[in-house]
Amino acid sequence: MTTVTFAQAVNAALADAIEADESVLVFGEDVGPLGGVFRVTDGLTAKYGEQRCFDTPLAESGIVGMAVGMAMNGLRPVVEMQFDAFAYPAFEQIASHVAKMRNRTRGALTLPMVIRVPYAGGIGGVEHHSDSSEAYYAHTPGLTVVAPATPSDAYSLLREAVDSPDPVVFLEPKRLYWSKEEVTLPVRTAPFGTAAVRRAGQDATLVAYGPAVPVALEAAQAAAAEGWSLEVVDLRTIVPFDEATVFASVRKTGRAVVVAEAQGFASVSSEIAARIGERCFHSLEAPVRRVTGLDIPYPPPKLEHHHLPSVDRVLDAVATLQWEDA
């Protein structure tokens, strides 16, 4: 086993996908010789040539539109949006064509393509560089939405995304690019639609995904010092959503807190909380709580720590769950 960063795991997954299938192409803004803003595609052009990994003009709608045409004609494009909010000019393509092609053609045409989105905050980025945009994609039927939190999942889920016959939005938490894990690549973890219990507990369940997972784990560690046993569930994929694992955990603990960086209103966290409330009502000992970003545009870098979920905010939410024996 070796120490692998999240960025290295994504890079290795892309390289292995290119090696395994000649129809796989990687392209986007500055992903070629530069290796991308975060150097995630570093070395791919040098090793595989500009026919397999290449730069495009600064036109996200054009990037995705070109990928649609390629996917319709037998290729497997993997495109990068560079930053989360940069993808919005391409959203019309994603919502109107990428997500609907299989349904529109009654299954005659599939779009085996991956849209990689470096997303979320925590790196001192400014507005348009730190959005948590997962709700837009999760709300759009026809898209698989993936949000890994570990290098091993980043590798495995990206390989699965490239192999998928349907379009995948692959959300890469920017603040986790430099996180590390002892792992031997290649590795295959659980498939799409399978959540992971990252920490077992008895008193309450913390449900998180992507960049919120390390926060939830740190909060659970801190809570242990106060005598609280918190279970941490990492969704891994937002769509499909693993109800079975989440509900089993909540029914065991009787309490739940959903942790996510995105704004709380009309969010993925809203949907998770609603489903837990509907399906686990008779098991709940307290209302489902949420710890999310504030309902504001992303703040300046010096203020982002007020906006993002923190260990203290998670612990405050846990404290409101009111243990009968407290």
Q: Which sequence positions are flagged as catalytic?
A: 129
The Cα–Cα gap between 186 and 179 comes to 18
Token representation of residue 233: 């569930």
Residue among 112, 113, 62 at smallest CA distance from 90 = 62
The Cα–Cα gap between 17 and 23 comes to 9
> Cα 312 to chain center, whole Å?
23
The Cα–Cα gap between 27 and 17 comes to 14
Burial environment of residue 166 by CB neighbours within 10 A (0 to 12, 13 to 18, 19 or more): middle
Q: Are 277 and 312 in contact (CB under 8 A)?
A: no
Which CA distances in Å does 131 have to 54, 84, 106, 117, 125?
26, 6, 34, 10, 10
Residue among 76, 63, 7 at smallest CA distance from 37 = 7
